[in-house]
Amino acid sequence: MTDLAATDPLPKPKRDLAPILLPVALALLMIPLIGSTSSWLTLTAASLAMGMMIFIMASGLTLVFGLMDVLNFGHGAFIAVGAYVATLVLAPFAASIQADLLWMNLAVLAPAALLSMAVSGALGLVVERVLILPVYGQHLKQILMTTGGLIVAEQTLYALWGPQIIPMPLPASLRGSFILGDVAIARYRVLAMLIGLTVFIAIQLVLNRTKLGLLIRAGVENREMVEALGYRIRRLFLGVFMTGSALAGLGGVMWALYREQVHASMSDDLTVLIFIVVIIGGLGSIGGCFIGAILVAMVANYGGFLVPKLALVSNILLMVAILMWRPRGLYAVTSR
């Protein structure tokens, strides 16, 4: 075999920029197809906002997949629970939400989001201990257990809140749009982009600048070796699972505000998108998940505008195309 001596220059690792350039190329490609610049900008902003919300919901799931090889089909339950819990805070303070004062709106929204994250995170603890712990390493049973858990969670929400759709109006200060020339960008979408970016940067900082992050990255790659170094990866996984559940809860609140309604099965369609994002991003890759979420949202928005009849299958086609290009996803970090 060939080997480098200490004095030989190490080949510089190539930065894999192709996945990053993909959404940029897709957006640019759409300019002539869409025709109107203002429509293109509006659709692009909508895609970025939707992508950020999907990323928030999917980020925990990709780490859970990558770190412990757990197929959690019940992830959507955290989304719905998060949204319902927010209504507990928002409903009594409806007057503050409808006041056209940003600080007053945020003073209600922030505690609602934090409570949703706390409850979803706590629910994650229960789900991991009760449903997932007994079926580690058994994919079929994981699917059955977590799908069953999702059904139980949905029916519990119906029993507690009733079958009707609960309205969740946007706060008054987040209604309307920023007007730039003849382009209108909804205020709430800008907020969603900012929150999504903040979550992405925070996760990247934790993963790249802390020992905890090192452990997570190492565990995604080879959890057996992390254990052989003396770290109890099950505890680490529980922490990641709870954090992922909490983020799904936050995503649920944001999605409910985006749609301005809450219902128990609100996560059903989202779950498909989230799994597509996790798969095309590469299991366990936060960067891949981020790009995948933007791509999925772009395809949904541009596709819905250009070829509405293809909207339902457009993301499946995207997944097929990406997996034909990179069978283990945009950024493969596990061998699975």
Partner 1 sequence: MTDLLKLSAVHTHIGRYHILQGIDLAVPQGQVTMLLGRNGAGKTTTLRTIMGLWQASRGEITLAGMRIESLATPDIARLGVGYVPESMAVFSDLTVKENLVLAARDGPLDDTQLDWIFGFFPALRRFWLSRAGSLSGGQKQMLSIARAIIEPRKLLLIDEPTKGLAPAIVMALIECLKEIKRKGATILLVEQNFFAARELGDNVLVMDNGTIVHRGEMAALAADVPLQERLLGLSLEAHQ
Binding stretches for partner 1 (CB under 8 A): 1-6, 10-13, 211, 214-215, 217-218, 221-222, 224-233, 333
| CB nearer partner 1, residue 287 or residue 303 | 287
Measured between alpha carbons, how far is 9 from 12 in angstroms, rounded to an integer? 8
How far apart are CB 203 and partner 1 at their closest, in Å? 15
| CB nearer partner 1, residue 16 or residue 182 | 16
For residue 146 the two structure tokens come to 């977590």
Burial class (CB in 10 A: 0-12, 13-18, 19+), 305: middle
Query: How many Cα atoms sit within 13 Å of 293 on the Cβ side?
Result: 28
How far apart are CB 217 and partner 1 at their closest, in Å? 6
Residue 93: closest CA among 101, 104, 79: 104
Q: Other CB atoms closer than 10 Å to residue 140's CB: what's the count?
A: 9
How far apart are CB 191 and partner 1 at their closest, in Å? 33
| CB nearer partner 1, residue 90 or residue 236 | 236
Contact assessment for residue 286 and residue 203, using Cβ atoms and an 8 Å cutoff:
yes
| CB nearer partner 1, residue 13 or residue 181 | 13
How far apart are CB 133 and partner 1 at their closest, in Å? 14
| CB nearer partner 1, residue 23 or residue 287 | 287
Q: What are phi and psi of 299, to 5 degrees?
A: -65, -40
Query: Do the strands 183-186 and 177-180 form a parallel or antiparallel pair, or are they unpaired?
Result: antiparallel
Measured between alpha carbons, how far is 328 from 326 in angstroms, rounded to an integer? 6
| CB nearer partner 1, residue 69 or residue 221 | 221
Measured between alpha carbons, how far is 15 from 107 in angstroms, rounded to an integer? 42
How far apart are CB 3 and partner 1 at their closest, in Å? 4
How far apart are CB 236 and partner 1 at their closest, in Å? 10
